[in-house]
Structure 1
């Protein structure tokens, strides 16, 4: 059985009556911010999430603290503003 985050192999895909995972259907520009040292949600899961969303951008931030702005907040904010500027024409 797939993990539910691996593209093409959603959780329950091989079992009748189970819903397909919605991540591959996302069409909006998507940014996945993830801490490289996160203990709560390991980095490979963040990478899998970004991989499961077509065209998603994965940004690996230093540190391990949550929420995302708790550590290196300026870096996290700049990453989000740059993404918005590239995809939505927002001023950064």
Structure 2
């Protein structure tokens, strides 16, 4: 049983040129390999974002909702960043 599926895609000229250049320089053996590697990177990024949302953003939101006094204003953030920047100069 075949584990791959052939599809047809259309790319902007600059992306198509980049794919062809990757094969021409020998970095990849085929255009399909370039596309597969790009999709693997995209999948890894999506997993990382999902993990960040689940493990950091969600718990931070829940903690803030449980104790709104933990919140800081945008002005407080700006002031804190300005103070930190001044320390490094």
TM-score (norm 1): 0.22
- Structure having the higher helix fraction is 2
Larger radius of gyration between Structure 1 and Structure 2: 2
Q: TM-score, normalised by structure 2?
A: 0.23
* Higher RCO (C-alpha 8 Å, min separation 6): 1
Which structure's residues are more often strand, by fraction? 1
